[in-house]
């Protein structure tokens, strides 16, 4: 789909120059940036290459691995079923998925996954939408007791042999990292949300997304795999030669666009990180969000439901926190991180910004006060919370944000 760019007097050349720098310095293989005011696209630019081997230019309709940018789509899908009255946010998850009833929690001084106590409270559905259920991931803090238990059971980054039902049955046997609702920890919770969509709707997760979101929004290239006829538009993913030096030059291939992990159908329909998409596809989804839940005559959600999703769900004093990334002033709603309090370096219009992104460098953010939306994409693993995305955001606010 060809994107319609609104003409304006805005000069995005400083932002373009800076993004081009990252490609020229071999920090990124490719980069695409898009800026909207309201639902109008005021800038779209591509930089770099489909692959570094033959350096074919990055196509405007290139297909990207979205990783955790999938999470927003999954959260919207589950909230569509909320609007149908199929569950309440304070319903125990075990009401619909009995494996998650009667959970155990790691003891405060646990030295192994066997050191557990009975959970005092159930996991609620609002907890799995806000990463406050006590679930974990396995790769965020690999030396921790909880992540070692996950790594001995599942590997979300490389094992695609389970379906959502089998996956959830496996992790339900693991202890929780903390009492549900008392903390925040990035986790497989959104994969549990995807399975809950299946349970409530009676459809496979990919079929539900296709019927309820992708087809209505004309997201024709968004799926959990890339068929052979689309492989020429599929980007190559790279990893840095030194992950501890994000601004160092040097990249090595991490996933092939023809013989890689996305080139065949998989059982694993990860609601937390499985989608591939294009700029135009995902922007239609963002336009729907910015436009209050409706786009091109298709209503996905009510405005009040999106308002609820943009409301903090964490306990008082709890913030979003990663061992390796600082995200000060950030809390979490139902599928979105939320800018609750501005930091010294934040523009005034960032108050109330809601966002999330993917590990390979696909990050979107919506700022109602600034009437601004930004979307930047690359294929660098890891690439979330990388300096390039911070510079893109700062430039976008400076150039196009309402003062």
CA distance 273 to 240: 20
Write out the DSSP string of 29-85. Answer: SEEEEEEEETTEEEEEEEEEBS-TTT-PBPPTT-BEE-GGGHHHHHHHHHHHHHHTT
> Does 332 score more than 90 pLDDT?
yes
> Does 344 score more than 90 pLDDT?
no
Q: pLDDT tens-digit profile of 32-44?
A: 999 999 999 999 9
Section 110-117 average pLDDT: 95
218: CB partners within 8 A, 6+ apart: 1, 281, 284, 296
Residue 384's pLDDT is what? 85
Report whether 149 contacts 173 (CB < 8 A).
Answer: no
Query: Nearest-5° angle of CA 172, CA 176, CA 177?
Result: 150
Question: pLDDT-derived band of residue 155, with 50, 70 and 90 as boundaries?
Answer: confident
CA distance 265 to 243: 30
Q: What Cα–Cα distance (Å) separates residue 45 from each residue in 33, 119, 121, 220, 327?
A: 5, 50, 49, 21, 27
**Hey, how many other C-beta atoms are within 10 angstroms of the C-beta on 170?**
15
- Which tokens is 312 given? 């903090």
> Does 90 score more than 90 pLDDT?
yes
Rg, Å, the chain Cα set: 20
> Does 403 score more than 80 pLDDT?
no
Residue 1's pLDDT is what? 66
Q: Which residue has 């800026």 as its token pair?
A: 35
- The domain locations on the chain are 63-224+266-341
Section 211-235 average pLDDT: 98
> Does 371 score more than 70 pLDDT?
yes
Section 138-159 average pLDDT: 91
Section 69-81 average pLDDT: 98
> Does 374 score more than 80 pLDDT?
yes
Residue 47 CA from chain centroid, whole number: 22
CA distance 262 to 223: 10
Q: Which of 318, 361, 362, 358 is nearest to 340 (CA)?
A: 318
Report whether 134 contacts 123 (CB < 8 A).
Answer: yes
- For residue 23, report the phi and psi dihedrals to the nearest 5 degrees: -75, -45
Q: Do the strands 354-358 and 337-339 form a parallel or antiparallel pair, or are they unpaired?
A: antiparallel
Superfamily of domain 63-224+266-341: DD-peptidase/beta-lactamase superfamily (3.40.710.10)
CA distance 401 to 361: 22
Section 51-71 average pLDDT: 97
């Amino acid at each position: 789909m060809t994107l319609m760019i609104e003409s304006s007097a805005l000069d995005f050349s400083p932002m373009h120059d800076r993004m081009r720098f990252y490609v020229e310095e071999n920090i990124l293989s490719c980069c695409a940036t898009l800026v909207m005011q309201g639902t109008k696209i005021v800038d779209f630019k591509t930089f770099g290459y489909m692959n570094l081997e033959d350096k074919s230019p990055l196509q405007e309709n290139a297909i990207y691995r979205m990783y955790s940018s999938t999470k927003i789509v999954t959260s919207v899908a589950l909230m569509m079923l909320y609007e149908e009255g199929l569950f309440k946010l304070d319903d125990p998850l075990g009401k619909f998925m009995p494996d998650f009833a009667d959970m155990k929690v790691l003891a405060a001084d646990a030295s192994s996954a066997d050191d557990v106590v009975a959970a005092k409270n159930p996991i609620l559905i609002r907890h799995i939408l806000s990463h406050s259920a006590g679930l974990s991931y396995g790769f965020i803090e690999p030396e921790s007791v909880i992540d070692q238990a996950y790594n001995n059971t599942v590997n979300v980054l490389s094992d695609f042999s389970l379906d959502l039902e089998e996956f959830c049955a496996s992790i339900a046997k693991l202890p929780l990292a903390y009492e549900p609702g008392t903390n925040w920890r990035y986790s497989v919770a959104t994969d549990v949300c995807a399975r809950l969509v299946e349970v409530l709707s009676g459809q496979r997760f990919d079929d539900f997304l296709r019927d309820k979101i992708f087809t209505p929004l004309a997201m024709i290239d968004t799926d959990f795999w890339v068929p052979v006829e689309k492989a020429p538009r599929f980007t190559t993913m790279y990893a840095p030669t030194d992950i501890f030096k994000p601004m160092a030059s040097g990249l090595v291939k991490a996933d092939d666009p023809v013989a890689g992990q996305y080139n065949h159908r998989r059982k694993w329909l990860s609601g937390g990180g499985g989608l591939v998409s294009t700029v135009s596809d995902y922007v239609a989804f963002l336009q729907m969000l910015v436009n209050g839940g409706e786009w091109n005559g298709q209503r996905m959600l009510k405005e009040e439901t999106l308002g609820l999703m943009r409301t903090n769900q964490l306990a008082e004093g709890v913030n979003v926190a990663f061992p390796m990334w600082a995200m000060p002033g950030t809390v979490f709603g139902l599928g979105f991180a939320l800018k609750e309090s501005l930091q010294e370096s934040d523009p005034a219009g960032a108050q109330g910004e809601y966002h999330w992104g993917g590990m390979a460098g696909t990050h979107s953010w919506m700022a109602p006060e600034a009437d601004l939306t930004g979307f930047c994409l690359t294929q660098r693993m890891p690439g979330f919370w990388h300096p390039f995305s911070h510079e893109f955001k700062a430039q976008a606010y400076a150039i196009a944000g309402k003062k």
